[in-house]
Amino acid sequence: MYKVFVNDKPIILTSSLNKENNYPVYILKNVVIDELIYKLKNEQIKGINLYTSDLESGWNIFINNFKVVSAAGGLVLNSKKELLFIYRNDKWDLPKGRIEKGESIETAAIREVEEECGIFELIIQQKLITTYHLYYQNGTKIKETHWFLMTSDYKKELIPQLEEGITKVNFFPDEEIPTKLKNSYGNIKLVYDTFKEV
C-alpha cells in the first residue's frame, strides 16, 4: 500500500479489495490522475482508494505522472525520550528538506535537522518510513520524504531557522504529541505512528 497526501487527504494505492475506510474506490487503469486530484481538492471526500492488481507496477504508473522531489528528515529523541518538533506556517512539523546533488539520504536528513533546528550530535538509529505528498510549484510534484529515527544528547539552546519560516523548535514529552498532531500534517502523523510501532 502507498499513501500520497493531497492537502492532507490520502490517495491510497492498494492491491487489496478489502476496504478499511469509507473512501470511494477507483481503478487505476480507468482514471485520469488529474481528475482524482481535482476531486480531492474540491469535493467533500476525505480520501480515495486507488486499486491496482499489481501494486509495484501500479505505483510506477502513478508516480510517472509527476516530477518527484526527494527529501529527508528526522524524528529526533533526546535523552528524556522527548520528541523534537518545529513550528512553521502555523503547523507543527518535523524537520526535513531536499536532498542535494551527490548527497546520501542519511547525510541530507542529518544536515536538514541540524540546519532547521540548530541541534547537533545527531545519531541515526534506523529508517522509519517514506512519505509522499503532492504540492504545486511550477506544476504538480510529489515530495518523497525519507524519515529516520534519530537521537541527540545536545544540551545547548535550539535555534529555529527563521529564513525557512520556522519560528519555534521544541522537544515535547510523548503525552503532548497527540495535541501537536491535531495541528500538523497527515504524513507527520504517519511518521509518528510508525515510530510508535518500533
What would the grid cell of residue 54 be? Answer: 499489481
Give residue 152's identity as a one-letter amino acid code: S
Q: How high is the pLDDT of residue 24?
A: 93
User: What is the residue extent of each domain of the chain?
Assistant: 2-63, 69-197
Mean pLDDT of the chain: 96
Of 176, 149, 165, give the one whose Cα is nearest residue 77: 149
Q: Average pLDDT, stretch 147-165?
A: 97
Averaged pLDDT for residues 181-187 = 96
Q: What is the pLDDT of residue 46?
A: 94
Question: What pLDDT is attached to residue 37?
Answer: 93
What is the C-alpha separation between 37 and 11, in angstroms, rounded? 9
pLDDT band at residue 19, thresholds of 50, 70 and 90? confident
Nearest C-alpha neighbor of 85 from the set 2, 185, 6: 185
Q: What is the DSSP letter of 71?
A: E
Q: Which pLDDT belongs to residue 94?
A: 98
| Residue 153 CB-half CA count within 13 A | 0
Cα distance from N-terminal residue to C-terminal residue, the chain: 19
Report the C-alpha gap between 133 and 91 in whole angstroms: 16
Q: What pLDDT, in 10s, does the model give residues 45-91? A: 999 999 999 999 999 999 999 999 999 999 999 999 999 999 999 99
Within the chain, strands assigned E span 2-6, 9-14, 25-27, 48-51, 67-77, 83-88, 91-93, 96-98, 122-136, 140-152, 166-172
Q: Among the residues of 91-169, which ranges form H helices?
A: 105-117
Beta-strand pair 67-77/96-98: antiparallel
Query: Quick one: fold of 69-197?
Result: Nucleoside Triphosphate Pyrophosphohydrolase (3.90.79)
In this prediction, residue 45 carries a pLDDT of: 92
